[in-house]
Structure 1
Amino acid sequence: NEFGVPSYIFFTSAAAFLGTTFYIQALHDEQKVDPTEFKNSDVELVMPCLASPFPAKVLPSLVLGKDLLPLFLRLFRRFREAKGIMVNTFYELESHAINSFSDGNYPPVYPVGPILNLNGHEHDVVSDRKDTHRDIMQWLDHQPSSSVVYLCFGSMGSFGVEQVKEIACGLEQSGHRFLWSLRQPPPNGKMEAPSDYVNPAEVLPEGFLDRTSEIGKIIGWAPQVDILAHPSIGGFVSHCGWNSMLESIWFDVPIATWPLYAEQQFNAFLMIVEFGLAIEIQVNYRMDDCEIVRAEEIEKRIRGLMEFDIKKREKLKEISENSRKALMKDGSSYTWLGRLIQDMIDNMA
């Protein structure tokens, strides 16, 4: 501002989450409400950015933790000083949230997505990843259309041994074909990303790999975009990272939510309640209590995913088509991007 250089923010989560952060910041600063008291409460918030009442305990630890709250508040006070905020979403998916920013209390918000890296692995030069990629795609090529459930929990998602065994039993009992990105948690006390298992059999039920060899495949690293684009994929069990949600929508793949950290619980709420585009595996949206989801529940939810409700399927197909139209000439995101460019020019004049 001192040098007359307009500042803009690119927000990589949902527009509804952006609205929620502004709402919580105003609740604290203007109404003197301490949001950390929402933790483990039954309070439901009625916010302009959401059409449905929102369970406050679904808020991420950045909001509910006393140590992290000052950082959160400082960050979103600064957000209000920006000339505009670009959001990786599109109007047809989040019209309610986007319309809620039009009252003049916020910087202009521009839905310019979905912005996805659809060619993420074309130029991968790591030879072992090339071989892994080829092996995965060849396996998928031999599976019937829409027959495979894909399980992946993001670059930071992993489970302990007990939960891994329950997932394995649930998959086996469901009888559905599966492709499972199984990652090893980092050592206790270390802030590291999960790694690939050298021998997955060590954490799986005895005989699981042999019994499921005709219908399942265990992998580590996953070329997710290429997997979701494959016609054999019929469902996606996901940690609900926003990018993964947009990718699944883009490729018209039904979603079962299993959020683990950050704003993923919020994203699961959006997909299930607000958008009506997903089913849940972890029913209470949270993992704070380290509750183990049992095989019987996993089996039931995977069956529900692979036999996706016809109305949800039709709605997902429509939203998927809209996600592509949004980026075309005269589409909603194309138009919003034009407004952003003009506003940038005007702000520099």
Structure 2
Amino acid sequence: MTRAEVIFIPAPGVGHLGSTVEVSKLLVSRDDRISITIMIMNPSSDSTIVAFTQNLKKEALDRIAFVDIPAPDETTMAGLMSKGHLNFLMSFIECQKVQVRDMVASIMSRSQSFKLAGFVIDMFCTPMIDVANEFNVPSYVFFTSAAASLGVMLYIQSLKDNENLEINDLDVELSIPSFSKPVPAKVLPSVMLSKDGSDMIASIARRLRETKAIVVNTVLELEAHSVKSLGDDENTPAIYHVGPIIKLTDGESTSRETIKGWLDSQPPSSVVFLCFGSMGSFDPEQVTEIACALELSGQRFLWSLRSPSQEKETMALPKDYENYNGVLPEGFLERTAEIGKVIGWAPQVTVLSHPSVGGFVSHCGWNSTLESIWFGVPMAAWPLYAEQQLNAFKLVKELGFAVEIKMDYKKNDVGPTVLVKAEEIVRGIRCLMDEECEMRKKVKEMKDICRKAIAEGGSSYNSAGQFIEDLIDNIRN
């Protein structure tokens, strides 16, 4: 039997790497003709990212191999970082192309039992399309965010190329095909609101259109309007909707067991969980407002509070606090000891799956959004960066799965970051934890739909099967 060897190239970053490994597991478990090599680029020496990557490798299945691509030398890296955050990632990936080409050639020379079926690249790794073309195999994209966000990228590119337009008025509302309601410009990712940034997004979108298909981590029933709008665009590649692709286990750790033990002692659906993703942190003034809000609300809470990284490197993650002295209001921990717990890193799946958790104050990252829906936990939207504001808009205004805390909040944007006051946070938490809220019913219904989607005969199961046949067809010729 000739196997189909598939090269996966994820973007560096915890969310992108994790999703890539999970979709790889799905493919090899569904068809024993498929083998996968995941090529890992790591521009960061951040110990958290390194440890996360090592754990992913330990959990991988047979027929999934990992190849580490050496980072450029210090001089080259310094030159890349000098280009600024906006251009760093794309420039970094561009300079890895030669190494990727040589490594793939080496892999293919080792065995006659498999044929190269194609490259599956992250949405930020479009320079690798050139490498796939050198091997004369198709490129696919694994899009780790929502179908609606994919539609926004293509919309920005279409505005530029077909109408020569830029979005520079934050007060306008936009008719974007992948959204069913007009989208306020202020919830677009910051990168799309500058000339250089929108040029970069348009450049990526043009290359996305060159690929054979785009595999989206979403569920047809969750994003029916968005998926249909993409299918209606004759210039968009085929779309496979294969989600939710989520990791349903957390790594074992002492803190995980301690947190689970605390949750075990709380009443059902009584705890609000606050967590802002692998890159989420706040300055001391905002931390104080959150603490005051939790105390004012009287709500049981589990709060993942992390310190902004002091490292200058581009991909460095927030760290856990060694202690909370000077960070939290004096006496806060003592006054809330009976109802709350402040933690560092959070085992998010363990928490969201726990019956005592009744709501999730979230940054609305797409992985976190899918996890929350999978476990039937409604959200309060507090996005920070990237496409999270778009996700928040979709959750609050289109789907009714979340209440708003600050939907257009942008962390470290141009100008001062807006301070969200305790009163706004309290209002959001109380709406979130209202047991009679219609939102709870909606989220629980979508939880059941998502589980049916990945079961045999479901929409995602069938779409993943079509993608597998697409890959296999590439080695039959």
Offset, 1:62: 2.4
Larger RCO of the pair (alpha carbons < 8 Å, separation 6+)? 1
**1:346–1:177 Cα change, 3 Å:** same
> Is 1:102 equivalent to 2:231 in the alignment?
yes
Letter in 2 for 1:102: G
> Is 1:273 equivalent to 2:403 in the alignment?
no
Offset, 1:286: 3.6
Offset, 1:75: 1.2
Match of 1:83 among 200, 212, 235: 212
Q: Which has the larger radius of gyration?
A: 2
Aligned to 1:325: 452
- CA distance in structure 2 between the partners assigned to 1:311 and 1:180 by the alignment: 25
Equivalent position SS for 1:134: helix
Aligned to 1:293: 420
Q: TM-score, normalised by structure 2?
A: 0.69
Offset, 1:151: 0.3
Query: What are the equivalent positions in structure 2 for 1:57-96 lying under 5 Å apart?
Result: 57-96=186-225
Aligned to 1:27: 159
Contact 1:6 1:344 in 2 (8 A): no
- CA distance in structure 2 between the partners assigned to 1:310 and 1:298 by the alignment: 17
Q: RMSD of the TM alignment (CA)?
A: 1.6
- CA distance in structure 2 between the partners assigned to 1:198 and 1:3 by the alignment: 50
- CA distance in structure 1 between the partners assigned to 2:334 and 2:166 by the alignment: 53
Letter in 2 for 1:109: I
Letter in 2 for 1:330: G
Match of 1:225 among 331, 335, 349: 349
Aligned to 1:169: 292
Aligned to 1:341: 468
Letter in 2 for 1:205: P
Equivalent position SS for 2:302: strand
* Greater CA drift, 176-185 or 64-73: 64-73
- CA distance in structure 1 between the partners assigned to 2:197 and 2:229 by the alignment: 27
Match of 2:248 among 118, 121, 129: 118
Letter in 2 for 1:14: A
Contact 2:409 2:418 in 1 (8 A): no
Aligned to 2:267: 144
Letter in 2 for 1:140: L
Letter in 2 for 1:258: W
Contact 1:234 1:254 in 2 (8 A): yes
- Cα offsets for 1:171-226 (capped at 9, x unmatched): 01101110000001122856421111111132111111110001000000110000
Offset, 1:73: 1.8
Query: What are the equivalent positions in structure 2 for 1:259-270 lying under 5 Å apart?
Result: 259-270=383-394
Contact 1:155 1:194 in 2 (8 A): yes
- Cα offsets for 1:53-79 (capped at 9, x unmatched): 001221112212333333222211110
**1:175–1:342 Cα change, 3 Å:** same
* Greater CA drift, 42-51 or 239-248: 42-51
- CA distance in structure 2 between the partners assigned to 1:74 and 1:51 by the alignment: 25
Letter in 1 for 2:199: P
* Greater CA drift, 190-199 or 338-347: 338-347
Letter in 2 for 1:291: V
Contact 2:393 2:407 in 1 (8 A): no
Could you tell me which runs of 5 or more consecutive residues in structure 1 were left unpaired when the two chains were aligned: 125-129
Aligned to 1:312: 439
Could you tell me which runs of 5 or more consecutive residues in structure 2 were left unpaired when the two chains were aligned: 1-132
- Cα offsets for 1:59-115 (capped at 9, x unmatched): 112212333333222211110000000000000100000011222221001110000
> Is 1:131 equivalent to 2:254 in the alignment?
yes
- CA distance in structure 1 between the partners assigned to 2:444 and 2:149 by the alignment: 24
Aligned to 1:246: 370
* Greater CA drift, 183-192 or 262-271: 183-192
Contact 1:268 1:285 in 2 (8 A): no
* Greater CA drift, 269-278 or 60-69: 60-69
Contact 1:9 1:85 in 2 (8 A): yes
- CA distance in structure 1 between the partners assigned to 2:156 and 2:301 by the alignment: 40
Aligned to 1:127: none
> Is 1:302 equivalent to 2:429 in the alignment?
yes
- Cα offsets for 1:120-157 (capped at 9, x unmatched): 31xx4xxxxx2111111111110111110000011111
Corresponding pairs, count: 339
